[in-house]
A and B are shown apart, each in its own frame.
Chain A
Amino acid sequence: MLVELTMFFAVGLFTLGSAFLIYVSKSIMRSAISLALTFFGASLALLFANQSILALLQLLILVGGLSTYMIIAFSFEKGSKRNASLAYFSVLAIVVILSFILMLLPIGESGTPVHNGFLMSFESLEESSPYILYIIAFLPFAGAIGSILLIKRLVGKIL
């Protein structure tokens, strides 16, 4: 219970901090990335209501679809080259840190250990916690957004 509460506070602070960053950021691109992180944090919060399917769907629709669409549209903005690079590294760092934390924590649906962190085999994936399935679903979208920003950094513009 204590671990769950701590994780909820971490997710809540992450969500509210990202929501606050929308107004602090000077670039619209950065605001859009903050909004994407807010969507991500809210979908993590849905896991605490035992709605893992809704959390995955929210990840697919809001983070995977809408945020990627917004970031592509806003990457037309002039002078956002340096911002996109910084944002790329920020997104990448957050993804890597969250992946490590969530995959190392041996927490199941009812708070019982179900695997041994990275030692978990794919055979036991179906019995694993929704957190693991969630992060596996999240990684392709983080990779997609990161790739868009990396192309923006390397080529200078998209399309």
Chain B
Amino acid sequence: MILLLYLSAALLGIGVAGVISSRNIIITIFSIELMLLSSIVMLAYGMEYKQGAAGAEMILAIWAVAALDVIVLVALYLILKPAGSFEIKRFSELKG
């Protein structure tokens, strides 16, 4: 169903708009998750179009990246929560 491509494009657009416009670190990472989700939907449509399993391994890789993204998100949340602010400027305060 080609409408899946439109859904994927809409999700990508919402994600890009969120990354550009949001000043909150958490919301920015949520937007990155949305962009990863849009790529999953697009790859699934590609698998249907080509009638094959090529692309499934890329979806697995995207799931792994999404999982790592969420782990980083929760770590950032727990680090930045005591100060009560999730402004993206506070990235500079993080020291590894």
Given contacts A51-B48, A74-B77, 13 further A-B contacts (CB under 8 A): A15-B7, A19-B11, A22-B30, A23-B22, A28-B86, A35-B30, A49-B1, A49-B4, A49-B48, A54-B56, A61-B63, A65-B67, A76-B81
**Given contacts A16-B14, A61-B63, A65-B67, is CB(A73)–CB(B77) below 8 Å?**
yes
Assess the A70–B74 pair: CB atoms within 8 A: yes
Verify B41–A42 contact, CB threshold 8 A.
yes
For the complex, what is the distance from the CA of A50 to the CA of B1, rounded to whole Å? 9
B4→A48 contact, CB < 8 A: yes
Determine the distance from Cα of A23 to Cα of B16 in the docked complex, in whole angstroms.
12
Contact A49–B34 (Cβ < 8 Å):
no
Near A by CB (< 8 A), chain B positions 44-96 give: 44-45, 47-48, 56, 59, 63, 66-67, 70, 73-74, 77-78, 81, 86
- Please list 5 pairs of residues, one from A and one from B, whose beta carbons are closer than 8 Å in the complex, sorted by A's number: A20-B14, A45-B41, A54-B59, A58-B40, A62-B63
Q: Which residues on B sit within 8 Å (CB–CB) of A108?
A: none
In chain B, positions 1-25 with a C-beta closer than 8 Å to chain A are 1, 3-4, 6-7, 10-11, 14-15, 18, 22
A80: interface (CB < 8 Å):
no
Q: Are A46 and B34 in contact (CB under 8 A)?
A: no
Which 3 residue pairs spanning A and B have beta carbons closest together?
A49-B48, A73-B74, A49-B44
A69 within 8 A of B: yes
Q: Can you name the residue of chain A whose Cβ is closest to the Cβ of B51?
A: A50
Contact at A51–B44, with CB atoms within 8 Å?
yes
Q: Is the interface of B mostly helix, strand, loop or mixed?
A: helix
A12 x B30 contact (CB < 8 A): no
Task: State which residues 23-58 of A face B: CB under 8 Å.
Answer: 23, 28, 31-32, 35, 38-39, 42, 45-46, 48-51, 54, 57-58
* A22 touching B27 in the complex, CB below 8 Å, given contacts A48-B4, A49-B4, A65-B67: yes
Structural contact, B66 and A66, CB atoms closer than 8 A: yes
Instruction: Indicate if A138 sits at the interface (CB-CB under 8 A).
Output: no
Pick from B11, B26, B30, B44: contact of A46, CB under 8 Å:
B44
Contacts of A19 in B (CB 8 A): 11, 14-15, 34
CB neighbours (8 Å) of A39 from chain B are 37
